Structure 1
C-alpha cells in the first residue's frame, strides 16, 4: 500500500470517527466532546498507520507510543476539566448564533473541520511510522524525543499548576504568574507546539520527512494566532483586572524571563 493510499485511508477514518462523535454530541447537546476527543484522534491515526505499514521499525513503535502518551493524557485532562460544567462557552455562542441549524452545521464547522486539521497535523506521524530507512535511530530522532519530553513537561506541569491555582477560592479573579506561568502566559500551548516539532524532527530523520514541516507550523500558528493565545486572551483581558499588567511583563508564548516595568 502506497503512502498516498494510507493517507487517504487515514483521512477517511478520522472523518468517520468525527462523525460518530458528532452524533453523540447531538444526543448530548454538547459539542465540547470534540475537544475531549482531539488527543485521541491522533492516537487513532498513529496506530492505524502502524497497522497499515508494510513493516514496522523501532522508530514507528516509539512514535506511536509517544503520541499515545500525549494524546491520552490530553483527552483525560480535558474531560476532567470540563466534566459537570456543561458545554464550553465557545460552542454555546455558536449554538446561539446558528439557532436550530447548529446541530447539523456543527458537523462541518466543528467536527469535520477539526478532523481535517488533525489529519494534516498528524502527517509527520504517517511519514515517521511508514519509513523503513534509516532503520537505526539518528540524531534527529534524539532531538525529536528531547523536544517531545520538554513539550510534554510544559503541558503537564502547566496544567497542574493552573488546576491547583483555580482550586483555591481566594485566587478567583486573579492572575496565575508563578511557576511556569511566570515565564510564559501559555506554557501548555507552548508545550503542545513543542511536542509536534518533536514529532516533525523524527519524521525529518527519514527520507523526505522534512516535507511535512507545514504540519507543526500549522499547529503552532493555530495555537498562537487562532484558537489558542489570541482567542483566550480576549476573554481574560475582560475578566481579570490584572491581566493587562501580566501581558506587559510576561512573554505570550515562548518562555523567557519577565520584563521589568519601566
Structure 2
C-alpha cells in the first residue's frame, strides 16, 4: 500500500495539529485541577503518539523507518513512565510552584512543550512521510545507519542508567551535605542531559541516511527537508544547555549547599560542593582525575562556563 497523504507531503501540518490538541488538552486538565501529575507525562507520551501515527500513515515498514520509530517510542515510554512515577512519589513538581496558579504563565510552559515536541520529532516525521517513503532508499545498514544506532543506543543507556542511579541513590538517604557521586554521576554533573542530547543526534543521523547516499531517487527538496530537520536535535540541545536543563539545576543546587553550610550540622556542605565542581565535568562524562587537571580554557570548551556558577555575594537570593 502507498503512503497516505494527509494535508501535506511532509506530515508537518497533521503532526502539529495533533501535538497542539494533545498538549492543550493536558493544559486544560492540569489547570483545572491545579496539579502536575500529567505535565511531563503528556510531553513524553506525545512523542510516542507522533512516532506511531506517522509510521502508520506512511505505511512504509522498511527497517529504517521501523527502527527509528521504535527508538522514539522506547525513549518516550521510558521517560514518560519514569517522570510520572517520580511526580507521583514526590506529589508535585517544584518547577511550577510560581506559575501553576497563573493562567498565561502556566500556558506558556505548555506552548513551549508544543514547540519542543513537534520540532524534536521532525527528523522522524519527515522520514515516515510520503516525501521520503514514496521514493526508493538505500538498503538499511549503511554506515550512517550504524552510526545513528550506536549513538542513540549509547545516549539512551546513559540517560536511563543515570536516572535509575539517582533515584536509587536518593532512596538510600545519603548524607545531605555531599553531592551525588554514584555511578555515572561521578563522571558528569548531568549525565541524563548528555545522554538525551546524544540520542537525538543519533536519531537524526539515522533518519537522514537516505539523503546522504547516492543510492535512491530522493528529490532535492526532500533532501533539504531532511537536512533541515537538524533543528530537532539542535533545539533539544539548546533547551537542555540554556533553558530548562543546566540553568534550572546548577545555581539552585549550589545555593542549596551554600545555605546548608550555614547550618551547624553541615558546616562542610559548601566546601564539599566546591570540591565536587572542581573534579566533576558539567556535561560530558570524564574521569574526575582527568577533569580536575584540565586547564580552565578546556573546561570552558566542555561547557563549564561562569554563567552557571553561583556567587553568594552577587547572586544572593535571586536564584
TM-score of the superposed pair, with normalisation by structure 2: 0.75
- Equivalent residues of 2:120, 2:235 under 8 A apart: yes
Rounded to whole Å, the distance in 1 between the matches of 2:191 and 2:206 is 23
1:69-218 alignment to 2 at 5 Å? 69-95=74-100, 99=101, 102-103=102-103, 105-107=105-107, 109-130=108-129, 131-132=132-133, 133-137=136-140, 138-207=142-211, 208=223, 209-218=226-235
Rounded to whole Å, the distance in 2 between the matches of 1:116 and 1:215 is 10
Question: How many residues of Structure 1 are paired with residues of Structure 2 in the alignment?
Answer: 255
Is 2:38 the partner of 1:48? no
Shift of 1:159: 0.8
- RCO higher in structure (CA 8 A, sep ≥6): 1
Rounded to whole Å, the distance in 1 between the matches of 2:175 and 2:163 is 16
CA RMSD of aligned residues (A): 1.9
Give structure 1 regions of 4+ aligned residues with deviation exceeding 4 angstroms: none
- Equivalent residues of 2:37, 2:88 under 8 A apart: no
Higher share of residues assigned helix: 1
CA-to-partner distance for each residue in 1:181-239, whole Å, 9 max, x for gaps? 11111111111111100110012202222221121011111111211012111211011
Runs of at least 5 residues in structure 1 that lack an aligned partner in the other structure: none
Rounded to whole Å, the distance in 2 between the matches of 1:3 and 1:167 is 49
Rounded to whole Å, the distance in 2 between the matches of 1:122 and 1:14 is 10
TM-score of the superposed pair, with normalisation by structure 1: 0.90
**Higher-Rg member (1/2):** 2
Secondary structure, in 3 states, of the residue corresponding to 1:199? helix
- Equivalent residues of 2:23, 2:43 under 8 A apart: no
Runs of at least 5 residues in structure 2 that lack an aligned partner in the other structure: 212-222, 258-269, 295-319
